[in-house]
Chains A and B, each alone.
Chain A
Amino acid sequence: MDLAFVILVEMLYAVASLILIGAGLAVVFGMMKVINLAHGEFMMMGGYATITAVNLGVNIFVAMLVVAPLVVGLIGLVVERLVIRHLYGRLVDTMLATWGLSLFFIGLVTMIFGNTTTGISTPIPGFAVGDYQINGYNFFVILAAIALLIGVLLVLRTTRAGLVARGAMQRSDMAAALGYSPDRIYMATFFCGSALSGLAGAVFAPLVGLVPTSGGAYIAKAFITVIAGGPSLVAGLLSSAGVFGIVSQIFTFAISPVIGEVALLVAAVILLRIMPQGITGRFFKGRL
């Protein structure tokens, strides 16, 4: 019974981490049709921002939830102004340019911080469930993912900016027709997307050993989750993260972590084969 609970928590955690990993990419992809292959590096920089801030004496939660998103958001803003905005509408080119950026950032961070592993410890203690000990931080990650989904949903549903964003998602020329400069919208979107990536990186910082190449571990998963989710932002992210998280955890528990990872990938292939437009391209059409 205790074990069942532990497994449940681990599954929720796996789903939540996929949501966090995918969110920044999903926002940028969903609204701008830009696949940001430097997404993993944005997360990595979020981690570094957190650790640096904590080492400077900032409270860890402030560092994670405020400093990291802001720093990475600003980096994203610079990237958008310098590179991305020249490439709108050219999907493949943006992928290539952002891939170049990812290498660039790895190099840059290596030169600044060196290539040794860094990290901070978890701010939340573990606790016991019957005979088992669980990582208390798992709950924080799960909560963060839920808050993030609700937040995105609320912004899109209730605010004016959200309305414009939804319009832009449906048709990129619509917002322009409504009198909003698409340039501004894209800038704001990329900032938000980058900030979300930074946030995700920050949330994972206490769980991992951070190196400049850490981003590589995230990008493939983020990419797969977002594409398999399909066009709807929230529903897509939730459904594909749900499928992949649960599948991979089942196989991890039953067999081994390798098989868990491979199962995730195989599930992605099968899913896309059956639903070439992603889950929400097939179901939940037109929802958020």
Chain B
Amino acid sequence: MPGRFVKDVWVTVLVTAVLIWIMPLLIGTYTLTVLVIYGMLGLSLGLIWGFGGILCFGQTAFFGLGAYTYAIAAINIGESTLPMILAILVPAVFAALLGAMMFYGRLTDVYLGVITLVVTLILFKFMNSTAGPQYVIGKARMGGFNGIPGFPTLNVPGDPDTYIWGDPYFYVCAVLLALVFLLVSALLRSSFGRVAVGIRENETRASLMGYDVRARKTVLFAIGAAIAGLAGALFANWAEIVTPSLFSLGQSAEIIIWCIVGGLGTRLGPIVGAAGLAYLKFLLGQQAVVDNTLITGLILVLFVLFLPKGIVPALVGLWKASFGRRPLGRIHQARRMRGGERANG
């Protein structure tokens, strides 16, 4: 359906352009940058969970790996182009290996969740225990709990002395998010994407149709990790420090919340959820009346209870009630219920 994709491209370009123009008038670009980065991270989980049915409790592992890969590579190489590429490749390869191990072992649902969680915990513990001087990769000290500060940040490709930071860095991130969004759109429109949705809906049927479910899930998992890795590298550039907290359970769970609040099975939901909640957290930090953790927790509980499909599907639902058809392959309550039953077996 090339016609519809072309329309997608135009809409995305237009919306991105408008947002890039308007948003900096409302929120500082420095904060906006991280909202964009979180949006990309949310999208990475939204892709594999919402469209591939893979509930990964450790998406942040790839985010952290991307950030660390970038930091370590940048220190050793001294410029940013190759480190950026590595920061995408390393998490992707890691996810491909991990995914192959899980999917070829026919792990599903909760068990998949446990493995991804445990792998994230291992990385977290490992990164935390690298304070000693023996943990060095090339010129880069791993730094343990304190992380790695002071690596070269993004520069214009081929010109290591011209750094991209401040407002230009925001534009770079925003454009990259738009590009990733388009790539995800294209992927979902492609046969691969449609088969992925089919696998999410019914693995057995997909394999009875002749699709190699294990391989396809592994590839999708790796794609998600690549996007998370890119987000991680962008984050490293933004924060100018990487710490093991990137691998923490809290960070991991936050990504899941973004997806739930924004809406699963949509491309926009996780981005909106991520940016919205991260901004909320930022705003909450400026008050001191109620404990912020309490508010975050309450939001999550209320969403699960009263708006389990998330904001974007709810809005789309309102829209669709008056116009047009249902969109392709929305994850549904029934689907999650089946997930529960399967865990029974």
Partners in one complex: yes
Binding site for B on A (CB under 8 A): 33, 35, 83, 86-87, 89-93, 96-97, 99-108, 110-111, 172, 216, 220, 223-224, 227-228, 258, 261-262, 265-266, 268-269, 272-273, 276-278
Check B291–A93 contact: CB distance below 8 A: no
8 tightest A-B CB contacts, nearest first: A107-B294, A103-B297, A100-B300, A104-B297, A91-B340, A107-B291, A100-B301, A107-B293
Closest chain-A Cβ to B344's Cβ sits at a distance in Å of: 6
Check A96–B256 contact: CB distance below 8 A: yes
Partner of B304, one of A91, A100, A108, A228: A100
State the CA gap A89–B339 with chains docked (Å): 9
Please, which residues of chain A bring their CB within 8 A of the CB of B111? Answer: 227, 272, 276-278
Tally B residues with Cβ within 8 Å of A. Answer: 49
Please, which residues of chain B bring their CB within 8 A of the CB of A266? Answer: 122
Partner of A92, one of B55, B101, B294: B55
Indicate with 1 or 0, residue by residue over B83-105, a CB within 8 angstroms of chain A CB atoms. Answer: 00000000000000000011001
Partner of A103, one of B114, B122, B296: B296
Please, which residues of chain A bring their CB within 8 A of the CB of B118? Answer: 220, 224, 265, 268-269
Assuming the contacts A90-B336, A101-B297, A265-B121, asked whether A96 and B114 have C-beta atoms less than 8 A apart, the reply is no
Please, which residues of chain A bring their CB within 8 A of the CB of B129? Answer: 258
State the CA gap A33–B126 with chains docked (Å): 32
Assuming the contacts A103-B296, A220-B249, A272-B111, asked whether A96 and B257 have C-beta atoms less than 8 A apart, the reply is yes
Closest chain-B Cβ to A115's Cβ sits at a distance in Å of: 9
Check A220–B344 contact: CB distance below 8 A: no
Q: Is B214 an interface residue (CB 8 A)?
A: no
Assuming the contacts A262-B126, A272-B111, asked whether A107 and B101 have C-beta atoms less than 8 A apart, the reply is no
Nearest opposing residue in chain B for A92, CB measure: B336
- Of A262, A272, A277, most B-chain CB atoms within 10 Å: A272
Closest chain-B Cβ to A114's Cβ sits at a distance in Å of: 11
Nearest opposing residue in chain B for A213, CB measure: B293
Q: Count how many pairs of residues, one from A and one from B, have CB atoms less than 8 Å apart in the complex.
A: 135
Closest chain-B Cβ to A132's Cβ sits at a distance in Å of: 27
Nearest opposing residue in chain B for A220, CB measure: B121
Nearest opposing residue in chain B for A115, CB measure: B291
State the CA gap A66–B300 with chains docked (Å): 32
Q: Is B219 an interface residue (CB 8 A)?
A: no
Check B336–A93 contact: CB distance below 8 A: yes
Please, which residues of chain B bring their CB within 8 A of the CB of A101? Answer: 297, 301
CB pairs A–B below 8 angstroms (16 shown): A33-B344, A90-B308, A91-B339, A92-B55, A99-B297, A103-B293, A103-B300, A104-B297, A106-B294, A108-B294, A111-B290, A216-B249, A220-B118, A265-B125, A269-B122, A276-B106
Please, which residues of chain A bring their CB within 8 A of the CB of B301? Answer: 83, 97, 100-101, 104
Partner of B295, one of A91, A107, A227: A107
Q: Is B110 an interface residue (CB 8 A)?
A: yes
State the CA gap A276–B115 with chains docked (Å): 10
Q: Is B107 an interface residue (CB 8 A)?
A: yes
Please, which residues of chain B bring their CB within 8 A of the CB of A223? Answer: 114, 117
State the CA gap A91–B110 with chains docked (Å): 9
Assuming the contacts A97-B305, A100-B299, A272-B107, asked whether A111 and B125 have C-beta atoms less than 8 A apart, the reply is no
Interface residues of B in 273-291 (CB under 8 A from A): 290-291
Q: Is B292 an interface residue (CB 8 A)?
A: yes
Please, which residues of chain A bring their CB within 8 A of the CB of B344? Answer: 33, 172
Assuming the contacts A107-B295, A223-B114, asked whether A262 and B122 have C-beta atoms less than 8 A apart, the reply is yes
State the CA gap A180–B47 with chains docked (Å): 42
State the CA gap A103–B300 with chains docked (Å): 9
